[in-house]
Amino acid sequence: MNQAASSAEYDVVVIGAGPVGENVADRVRAAGLSTAVVEAELVGGECSYWACMPSKALLRPVVARAEARRVPGLEAAVQGPLDADAVLANRDGFTSHWKDDGQVEWLESVGADVYRGQGRLTGEKRVSVTAPDGTVRTLTARHAVAVCTGSRAVVPDLPGVAGANPWTSREATSAKSVPGRLVVVGGGVVGVEMATVWQGLGARVTLLVRGGGLLPKMEPFAGELVAEALTEAGAHIRYGVSATALDRPAPDGPVTVELDDGDRIEADEILFATGRAPRTDDLGLETVGQEPGGWLTVDDSCRVEGSSWLYAVGDVNHRALLTHQGKYQARIAGAAIAARAQGAATLETGRWGAHAATADHAAVPQVVFTDPEAASVGLTLAEAERAGFRVRAVDYDLGSVSGASLYAAGYRGHARMIVDLDRETLLGVTFVGPGVGELIHSATVAVAGEVPLARLWHAVPSYPTISEVWLRLLETFRG
């Protein structure tokens, strides 16, 4: 760590040390470029402490118990409640108890200098760092500055919200105890995952959904199957309603939620899972001709449009707000920065597509870790039709696959592939059912690789596994 001087010069300065910033730093350091990384909170970012890792640590025992209850000979042994204290303690272990020593050590091991404090742009290739003790240092980049500051949860500006201390995704994944009653506002990924967690740990969950279904960005059957399972687990889902006001008279007391249909609900906690906003409002973007607080528009190398040196990688560019896509972009951006620093006049994508984040457009995978899991990649049927493709949706009941019936008694699930009829390749695939998260990479390879269906026919699935659904989908398409 090199923080003694009041100013320093590097080849690359990275603002934000989450998984995205870490991967940019790793790539440019591997290319021999000196690198500084600036972080205002914990090195490791949202994913490590308040999102991917703690949420999946919380979800795993809930989902594992649900699946075990469907296995003949095992169901009677897993009827009791989960040990909530043990689940929360396991979660704490996966977050390293919200300490980032290991992450700092890793960054320093690749040769990056870590600066603690708020990083702000002050002009072309210049970043000021205000440390916790108020000390200000100036970092200058010879080649590039990469903004990797991620996104934050959005809480609607409702009457009473300030005094109600509502949960966002951060509080929902780091809570120290199980609330007796929890209201979840929002039916997207965060909403359904956190409803699954806390209902499974013993809370009485009410899910408020403004629209008519869960997981609106996926195929409709995904939200339907997840809603069915949540309801069976005891959650109460209300569609077509919105919260209009909150009231929490005492800091440790219950919160009353007023709804737009005139009803009122009392709960011990309320979680708003109502969208994300970029962490760009306090970055000095106005000093380099950009709008503070907004998303940054980039090209496929993640370089900000109109700039030769500023990059925006991960959530801040609004291309795909997923950790794995941000890390993918980081690898692309790091390679592009290194190539340009080494004098490449143009960036040839080559056989590996090293300098273009093309997957952000057509092959973004996602897994929702609920019971059942929902996993998708590429376009839904509605998206493909809106884009003007001539398509056919091919559906199959996952429960009819031999491997699925062995996986769990009464297995419920569904699979769909979207076929581009002109090229006979796949534009999108969606699986819903227990254990399908491990299937989605095969679909991602097929979509990203534009593999012809005639060739997929020769990719033989092992028997008896759930992946045999691929054969059934292809048979259904051929008729």
Give the tens place of pLDDT for each residue, 158-204.
Answer: 999 999 999 999 999 999 999 999 999 999 999 999 999 999 999 99
Q: Is the pLDDT score of 59 beyond 50?
A: yes
DSSP state of 264: E
Residue 431's pLDDT band (boundaries 50, 70, 90)?
very high
pLDDT digits (tens, 9 = 90+) for 119-149: 999 999 999 999 999 999 999 999 999 999 9
What are 8-25's pLDDT values in tens digits?
Answer: 999 999 999 999 999 999
Q: Model confidence at 343, in pLDDT bands (50, 70, 90)? A: confident
Structure tokens at 103: 């992450």
Q: pLDDT band at residue 239, thresholds of 50, 70 and 90? A: very high
149 class by beta-carbon count within 10 Å (0-12 exposed, 13-18 middle, 19+ buried): buried
pLDDT in tens, 273-296: 999 999 999 999 999 999 999 999
Indicate the DSSP class of residue 295: P
Q: What percent of the chain has pLDDT over 70?
A: 97
pLDDT at position 349 is: 55
State the average pLDDT over residues 58-63: 97
pLDDT tens, 62-113?
999 999 999 999 999 999 999 999 999 999 999 999 999 999 999 999 999 9
Burial label, 78 (beta-carbon count in 10 A; 0-12, 13-18, 19+): middle
Domain 161-274 has CATH 3.50.50.60: yes
pLDDT band at 479 (very low <50, low <70, confident <90, very high): confident
User: Taking residues 400-406, what's their average pLDDT?
Assistant: 95
Contact 12, 33 (CB under 8 A): yes
Q: Where are the beta strands (DSSP E) in 3-130?
A: 7-15, 35-39, 113-116, 118-123, 126-130
The mean pLDDT of the chain is 95
Mean pLDDT across the stretch 294-323? 97
Backbone angles phi, psi at 19, to 5 degrees: -55, -35
Lowest pLDDT segment from 40-44, 222-226, 292-296, 353-357 = 353-357
Residue 344 has pLDDT above 70, yes or no: no
CA distance 312 to 298: 7
CATH 3.30.470.20 assigned to domain 7-44+100-152+278-359? The reply is no
Task: With beta carbons less than 8 A apart as the criterion, state whether 330 and 20 touch.
Answer: yes
pLDDT at 187: 97
Q: How far apart are CA 215 and CA 364, in angstroms?
A: 16
Domain with CATH 3.50.50.60 in the chain: 7-44+100-152+278-359, 161-274
Ramachandran assignment for 75, one of left (phi > 0), alpha (psi -120 to 50 degrees), beta (any other): alpha
Question: CA-CA distances (angstroms) from residue 214 to 25, 173, 218, 335?
Answer: 37, 20, 9, 38
Q: Mean per-residue pLDDT for 57-66?
A: 97
Intervals of CATH 3.30.390.30 along the chain: 372-478
Average pLDDT for residues 46-75, to the nearest whole number? 96
Q: Give the pLDDT score at 466.
A: 97
Check whether 345 has a pLDDT greater than 60.
no
Residue 2, pLDDT above cutoff 50 = no
Higher pLDDT, 342 or 57: 57
Element (H, E) at 136: strand 136-147
Confidence of residue 1 (pLDDT cuts 50, 70, 90): very low
pLDDT above 90 for 351: no
Look at the chain and count its residues.
479
Domain 372-478, CATH number (from 3.40.50.1000, 3.40.190.10, 3.90.660.20, 3.30.390.30): 3.30.390.30
Mean pLDDT of 388-417: 97
pLDDT at residue 246 greater than cutoff 90: yes
Average pLDDT of 296-312?
Answer: 97
Q: Smallest Cα–Cα separation from 218: which of 388, 415, 387?
A: 415
The predicted pLDDT at position 362 comes to 87
Q: Does residue 3 surpass a pLDDT of 60?
A: no
The predicted-structure confidence for 112-124, as pLDDT tens digits, reads as follows: 999 999 999 999 9
Overall average pLDDT of the 413-427 stretch = 98
